[in-house]
């Protein structure tokens, strides 16, 4: 079971890294989204996949059934999903704004920041 | 001090900026009100952090567990000497930056949400310093990242959007690596509380998963802290932000990464395992050298200073690479010195900009005649950064380099001395171009600097001089902090030993 999960996570992470290496900002954001999804699955597997019994304490007992699933990874993943969603949506908005302002989403054409104070650029940076 | 303040003091450095951020957001369309809320809020944060420092010095390591969950099950907050010092110094810097911002920030920037974001950033920074839970640390890192991105794109200039994309992608990648490391660590040990991990890990069989986890922590924090060869996002983005934001970023954000690396590689992992010490040593040497070389060819003051952040991080990492008591004390001293000096240099760059109207050294000049007092104020942090006695940077460099020669890491010490020489080169470049040289296109009326611009610079310079002429108390404190890091028994006792729950919920 674990080996299938491991292979699936490896495939997702691999695709994520491949997209991250692109020069196209939108692809890079997709890459980051895939990597964070892969990481969530990694936490899930790290919490052991052995039981599907819900982690609910039965009425009248004080402790969780030792055969129940581990609830903590789900809490961690839930937090990570929310944070990942917020950051990816910010990144998407940033990419859109950059496209509107800079007129490109190709990172090799984005050099407004590097041009400031560069010994190779004679013009003074416009925004400073 | 009333008892209820004393028992909840650990939470104040978070609760105050969080409350102030909410209040400032409520006055979104009233920039003047926001600036008062922000400045007063950061002032109270500074007082609270000083009280916390006093408590840590007086009563030892402080800890709290949230929500009536005893450690290691709930989220713990811990203030040991190192984290208390970091909270004090970051609150001090934030307060200084807020005062500088009173005149430097435009109404447009305030309306774009500067104060709520800045206060939110301080919540993230102080949270990262005070948390005792490794997953909670990840959450604070993300709080810092999202607020920092907001601050970076405050004006939505072309250069800012360009810098923000590089900043966002590489920092997102670093937090993903950090989260993977946490996942693997949890899979092996089954716990996330750092004190509990410090107990469990020495009893755990070494395994491939643990080694990969340690390396992922090193890479994740390394990107955050700006280690060679992972620092490229930093000089691509820091200089584009508004100068108040740059000063805060320069002082604080990389140091949170450094702090986390120190915490994880003293409390959880040993640097001696699997060649991590050698890796950190090579990273430290590369960080020092490439940072200072990068600075040498730049002409924008802020970019020169950004590259110098990196080279200074190398000195701090040297302490971790050697990790004797003396080296760790040197590193703690270095962090405190560096935060003050580096932020002050960025604020000075802002003052130079206000006087000459440019950050480009080729265009500026004539400040020696026009504003001699600014020249005096610049010389103090610039020489301190280069390590000239009797300023604070001399003692910081002395402690770290001395430790390297004592511990057969002389090559690192040699690199550090060489880099110190090149630092003088960069500082004298700014000095010659901005202060000595006549201005190429002089302004008719030299701009007068407002008191809120000069006061924080003077105060930070005064602290630099004070540490320089009387380093003894800070050295003793750094040694205390280094002892607490190298012998984590007290830290573990403070979290796990005594069951005490916080009344206040987060």
Q: How far apart are CA B298 and CA B295, in angstroms?
A: 6
Assigned domain for A128 exists: no
% chain B with pLDDT above 90? 66
A 18-57 residues with CB < 8 A to B: 20, 25, 28-29, 32, 35-36, 39, 42-43, 45-48
- pLDDT on residue B499: 45
- Which structural domain range is residue A7 located in? 2-53+65-107
Cβ contacts (< 8 Å) between A111 and chain B: which residues? 162
Looking at the partner chain, which of B145, B158, B182 has a beta carbon nearest the beta carbon of A112? B158
Distance CA B349, CA B439 (A): 16
Q: What is the mean pLDDT of residues A10-28?
A: 95
Number of separate domains in chain A: 1
| Residue A114 belongs to a domain | no
Q: What is the pLDDT of residue B500?
A: 44
SS3 B487: coil
Q: What is the mean pLDDT of chain B?
A: 90
Three-state DSSP class for residue B106: coil
Judge whether A100 lies within some domain: yes
Kindly provide the b/e burial profile for residues B410-433, where b requires at least 16 CB atoms within 10 angstroms of the residue's own CB: eebbebbeebbebbbebbebbbeb
Domain ranges of chain B: 272-469
Could you report the per-residue pLDDT of B173-197, keeping only the tens digit for each? 999 999 999 999 999 998 999 999 9
* End-to-end Cα separation, chain A, in angstroms: 57
Q: CATH number of the domain at A78, please.
A: 1.10.287.3510
How do residues B111-135 score in pLDDT, each as one tens digit?
889 999 999 999 999 999 999 999 9
Size of interface A-B (CB pairs under 8 A): 143
Residue B243 pLDDT exceeds 80? yes
Q: Is residue A113 part of a domain?
A: no
Distance from CA of B152 to the nearest CA of A (A): 11
Contact status, residue B367 vs residue B435, Cβ threshold 8 Å: yes
Residue A43 lies in a domain: yes
* DSSP 8-state secondary structure symbol assigned to residue B228: T
Residue of chain A whose alpha carbon sits nearest to that of B187: A46
Chain B positions in Cβ-Cβ contact with residue A64 (cut-off 8 Å): none
Q: Over 60: is that where the pLDDT of B426 sits?
A: yes
């Amino acid at each position: 079971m674990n080996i299938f999960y491991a292979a699936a996570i490896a495939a997702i992470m691999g695709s994520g890294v491949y997209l991250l290496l692109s020069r196209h900002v939108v692809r890079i954001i997709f890459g980051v989204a895939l990597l964070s999804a892969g990481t969530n699955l990694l936490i899930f597997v790290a919490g052991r996949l052995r039981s599907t019994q819900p982690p609910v304490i039965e009425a009248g007992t004080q402790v969780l059934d030792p055969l129940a699933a581990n609830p903590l990874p789900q809490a961690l993943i839930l937090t990570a999903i929310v944070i990942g969603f917020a950051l990816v949506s910010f990144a998407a908005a940033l990419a859109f704004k950059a496209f509107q302002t800079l007129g490109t989403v190709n990172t090799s054409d984005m050099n407004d920041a590097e041009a400031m104070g560069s010994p190779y650029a004679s013009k003074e940076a416009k925004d400073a | 001090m009333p008892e209820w303040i004393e028992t909840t003091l650990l939470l104040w450095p978070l609760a105050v900026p969080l409350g102030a951020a909410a209040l400032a957001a409520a006055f979104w369309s009233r920039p003047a009100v926001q600036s008062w809320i922000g400045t007063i809020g950061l002032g109270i944060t500074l007082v609270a952090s000083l009280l916390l420092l006093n408590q840590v010095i007086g009563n030892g390591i402080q800890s709290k567990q949230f929500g009536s969950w005893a450690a290691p099950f709930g989220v713990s907050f811990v203030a040991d000497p190192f984290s208390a010092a970091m909270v004090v110094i970051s609150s001090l810097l934030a307060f200084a930056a807020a005062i500088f911002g009173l005149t430097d920030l435009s109404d447009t920037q305030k309306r774009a949400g500067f104060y709520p974001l800045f206060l939110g950033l301080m919540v993230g920074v102080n949270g990262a310093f005070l948390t005792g839970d490794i997953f909670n640390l990840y959450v604070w890192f993300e709080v810092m990242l999202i607020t920092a991105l907001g601050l970076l794109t405050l004006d939505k200039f072309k250069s800012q959007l360009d810098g923000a994309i590089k900043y966002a992608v590489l920092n997102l990648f670093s937090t993903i690596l950090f989260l993977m490391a946490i996942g693997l660590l949890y899979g092996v040990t089954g716990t996330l509380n750092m004190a509990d991990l410090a107990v469990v890990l020495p009893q755990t069989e070494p395994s491939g998963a643990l080694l990969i986890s340690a390396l992922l922590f090193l890479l994740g924090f390394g990107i955050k802290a700006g280690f060679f060869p992972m620092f490229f996002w930093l000089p691509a983005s820091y200089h584009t932000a508004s100068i108040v934001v740059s000063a805060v970023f320069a002082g604080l954000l990389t140091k949170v990464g450094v702090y986390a690396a120190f915490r994880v590689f003293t409390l959880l992992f040993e640097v001696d395992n699997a060649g991590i010490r050698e890796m950190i040593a090579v990273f430290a040497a590369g960080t020092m050298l490439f940072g200072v070389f990068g600075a040498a060819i730049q002409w924008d003051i802020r970019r020169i200073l950004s590259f110098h952040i990196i080279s200074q991080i190398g000195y701090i990492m040297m302490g971790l690479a050697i990790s004797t008591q003396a080296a760790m004390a040197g590193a703690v001293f270095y962090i405190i010195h560096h935060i003050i000096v580096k932020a002050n240099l960025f604020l000075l760059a802002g003052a130079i900009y206000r006087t000459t109207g440019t950050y480009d050294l080729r265009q500026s000049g004539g400040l020696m005649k026009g504003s001699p007092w600014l020249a005096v104020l610049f010389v103090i942090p610039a020489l301190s950064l280069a390590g000239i006695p009797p300023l604070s940077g001399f003692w910081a460099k002395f402690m770290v380099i001395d430790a390297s020669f004592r511990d057969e890491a002389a090559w690192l010490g040699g690199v550090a001395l060489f880099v110190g020489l090149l630092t003088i080169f960069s500082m004298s470049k700014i000095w010659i171009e901005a202060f000595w040289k006549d201005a190429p296109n002089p302004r008719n009326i030299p701009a007068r600097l407002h008191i809120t611009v000069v006061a924080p610079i003077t105060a930070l310079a005064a602290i630099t001089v004070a540490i320089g002429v009387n380093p003894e108390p800070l050295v003793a404190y750094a040694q205390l902090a280094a002892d607490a890091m190298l012998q984590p028994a007290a830290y573990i006792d403070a979290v796990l030993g005594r069951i005490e729950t916080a009344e206040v919920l987060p």
